[in-house]
């Protein structure tokens, strides 16, 4: 059997049956463990289950470990645990891992949680309790030795090393990333649980905003927030007996640029992990990006969204600037994207908030942001120095 046909056999084997999330705020009263536990319990209850039903835990890298999650929630028998090491691409990658564990029978019902004090860890209130929870990644060595000494402290500075090249080589006008930022902000106005709910952003406002590091302006960058989210995945069979219409995982894959641990020494620096992951996931699901009723794209930075739209096959290299014109990413457009505001305007929950919103869309429970009759959608992840992940999701039978 070829590897491709093996992967196709996974399609539809598992479904997301529970979702949970905290508020997306700056200055949470709770620490990261408490937030993760709250989101996890909410997801388990939303699935109509109890912690005793959970037998797999796939926490992303950092902050909390699976064992303390299991202990606090009272999960008595953990059969499987694993952690993708892909930064912000980890939660979405974990959905493929969950699907594999469930399809193989290693686990039946898997919890995928994430959370952090993305705002307050670096800016504690005067009365804040001490917070020593941190995370580290091997690529930090690369950053420390080869980028840090040059005033390139964190993600916007690192990514600008290749994003400015993208802008210059393909004459990307500022209105293109601006359209991404404006669409996300418009959708946040429809979602009360979004940091930027009630704070509109016009293209003029975007174009007048200051650069952080070229080509990234302030409004090209996602919003640092305190938040947590969690989802519960189980077998497609078991999903049929649970309260909500299942969100079936039709395809999932990860991919990595080479070398993965350093940005600038890739044969093609605009080659994302998603460039490799997307065709694998679409092959498994038997669909293309054009079939999607909505897109949830990891929007750490607007230009990274443009590159991902190209990696998904919706445009040629450099063609995303035309693709996003005329409100194409907004509700009512050809490719409604990040319908709860995304990380640019709802909050930065390592992309798991994008998964939660995808599930709401496919349950037809997305309120004012509902894409009418949504049957198919995708979620991408982007992490560390360009790791990519993707899931293709479909509305299941009831």
Partner 1 sequence: MSTTDKQIPHPTELDLEFFEAAVRGGALHVQRCDDCGDHHHPPRMYCPSCFSGAYSFSEVSGRGTVYGHTVSHYTTEKAWKDQLPYLTIVVELDEGPRLVGTARGIEPGEVALGQSVRVVPETVADDFAYLWVEKA
> What is the residue whose two structure tokens read 């519960």?
232
Q: Is 376 left (phi over 0), alpha (psi -120 to 50) or beta?
A: beta
C-alpha angle with apex 127: 123 to 131, nearest 5 degrees?
A: 55
Cβ proximity to partner 1, 65 vs 152, nearer residue:
152
Across the strands, what pairs with 253?
390
Is 276 a binder of partner 1 (CB under 8 A)?
no
In the complex, least distance from residue 148 CB atom to partner 1, rounded to whole angstroms? 5
| CA distance linking residue 169 with residue 64, whole number of Å | 41
Cβ proximity to partner 1, 66 vs 139, nearer residue:
139
In the list 106, 169, 207, 334, the residue contacting partner 1 (rule: CB under 8 A) is 169
Return the structure tokens found at 220. 């090209």
**Per-residue mark of binding to partner 1, 42-61 (x: CB under 8 A):** --------------------
| CA distance linking residue 302 with residue 57, whole number of Å | 31
Cβ proximity to partner 1, 191 vs 213, nearer residue:
213
In the complex, least distance from residue 26 CB atom to partner 1, rounded to whole angstroms? 16
**Per-residue mark of binding to partner 1, 228-247 (x: CB under 8 A):** --------------------
Is 269 a binder of partner 1 (CB under 8 A)?
yes
Is 265 a binder of partner 1 (CB under 8 A)?
yes
Return the structure tokens found at 41. 């319990």
Is 119 a binder of partner 1 (CB under 8 A)?
no
Return the structure tokens found at 98. 């969950």
Only segment of 61-69, 74-82, 205-213, 390-398 that touches partner 1 (CB under 8 A): 205-213
Cβ proximity to partner 1, 160 vs 380, nearer residue:
160
In the complex, least distance from residue 283 CB atom to partner 1, rounded to whole angstroms? 27
Is 162 a binder of partner 1 (CB under 8 A)?
yes
In the complex, least distance from residue 31 CB atom to partner 1, rounded to whole angstroms? 23
For residue 62, the tally of other CB atoms under 10 A from its CB is 19
In the complex, least distance from residue 259 CB atom to partner 1, rounded to whole angstroms? 7
Per the CB < 8 A criterion, the answer to whether 62 and 252 are in contact is no
In the complex, least distance from residue 221 CB atom to partner 1, rounded to whole angstroms? 10
In the complex, least distance from residue 93 CB atom to partner 1, rounded to whole angstroms? 24
Please give the torsion angle defined by the CA atoms of residues 261, 266, 271 and 274, in that order, rounded to the nearest 10 degrees: -20
Q: Report helix angle 155-169 to 302-311, nearest 10.
A: 60
Is 259 a binder of partner 1 (CB under 8 A)?
yes
In the complex, least distance from residue 189 CB atom to partner 1, rounded to whole angstroms? 27
C-alpha dihedral sign at 121, 296, 396, 289: negative
Is 148 a binder of partner 1 (CB under 8 A)?
yes
Beta strands at 56-57 and 80-81: parallel, antiparallel or unpaired: parallel
Q: If you compute the radius of gyration of the chain from its CA atoms, what whole number of angstroms results?
A: 19
Only segment of 39-47, 56-64, 146-154, 358-366 that touches partner 1 (CB under 8 A): 146-154
Longest alpha-carbon distance in the chain:
61
3-class SS of residue 264:
coil
Is 33 a binder of partner 1 (CB under 8 A)?
no
In the complex, least distance from residue 289 CB atom to partner 1, rounded to whole angstroms? 28
With residues binned 3-state (H G I as helix, E B as strand, rest as coil), the percentages for the chain, rounded to 5, are 40, 15, 45
In the list 65, 161, 190, 315, the residue contacting partner 1 (rule: CB under 8 A) is 161
> CA of 185: how far to CAs of 73, 150, 189, 285, 338, in Å?
35, 33, 7, 30, 9
In the list 119, 147, 282, 294, the residue contacting partner 1 (rule: CB under 8 A) is 147
Q: Which residues contribute to the site for partner 1 (CB under 8 A)? A: 141-142, 144-153, 157, 160-165, 168-169, 210-215, 258-259, 261-262, 264-265, 269
């Amino acid at each position: 059997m070829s590897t491709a046909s093996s992967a196709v056999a996974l399609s539809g084997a598992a479904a997301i049956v529970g979702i949970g999330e905290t508020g997306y705020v700056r200055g949470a009263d709770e620490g990261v463990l408490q937030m993760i536990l709250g989101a996890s319990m909410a997801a388990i209850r939303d699935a109509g289950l109890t912690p005793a039903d959970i037998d797999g835990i796939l926490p992303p890298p950092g902050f909390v470990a699976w064992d303390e999650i299991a202990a606090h929630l009272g999960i008595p028998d953990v059969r499987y645990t694993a952690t993708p090491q892909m930064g912000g691409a980890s939660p979405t990658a974990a959905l493929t891992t969950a699907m594999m564990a469930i399809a193989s029978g290693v686990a039946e019902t898997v919890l995928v949680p994430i959370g952090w004090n993305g705002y307050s860890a670096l800016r504690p209130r005067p009365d804040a309790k001490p917070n020593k929870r941190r995370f580290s990644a091997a690529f930090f060595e690369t950053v420390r030795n080869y980028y840090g000494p040059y005033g390139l402290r964190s993600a916007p500075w690192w990514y600008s090393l290749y994003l400015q090249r993208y802008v210059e080589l393909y004459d990307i006008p500022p209105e293109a990333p601006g359209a991404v930022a404006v669409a996300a902000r418009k959708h946040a106005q429809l979602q009360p649980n979004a940091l930027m709910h009630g704070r509109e952003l016009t293209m003029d406002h975007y174009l007048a905003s200051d650069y952080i590091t070229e080509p990234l302006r302030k409004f090209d960058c996602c919003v640092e927030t305190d938040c947590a989210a969690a989802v519960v995945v189980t077998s497609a069979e078991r999903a049929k007996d649970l309260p909500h219409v299942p969100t079936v995982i039709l395809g999932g894959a990860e991919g990595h640029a080479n070398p993965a641990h350093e940005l600038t020494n890739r044969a093609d620096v605009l080659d994302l992990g998603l460039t490799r992951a997307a065709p694998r996931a679409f092959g498994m699901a038997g669909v293309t990006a054009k079939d999607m009723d909505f897109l949830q794209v990891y929007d750490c930075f607007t230009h990274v969204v443009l590159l991902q739209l190209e990696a998904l096959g919706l445009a040629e290299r450099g063609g995303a600037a035309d693709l996003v014109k005329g409100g194409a990413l907004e509700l009512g457009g050809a490719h409604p994207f990040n319908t709860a505001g995304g990380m640019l305007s709802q909050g930065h929950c390592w992309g798991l908030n994008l998964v939660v919103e995808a599930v709401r869309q496919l349950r037809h429970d997305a309120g004012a942001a509902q894409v009418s009759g949504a049957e198919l959608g995708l979620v991408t992840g982007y992490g560390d120095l360009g790791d990519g992940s993707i899931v293709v999701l479909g509305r299941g039978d009831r």
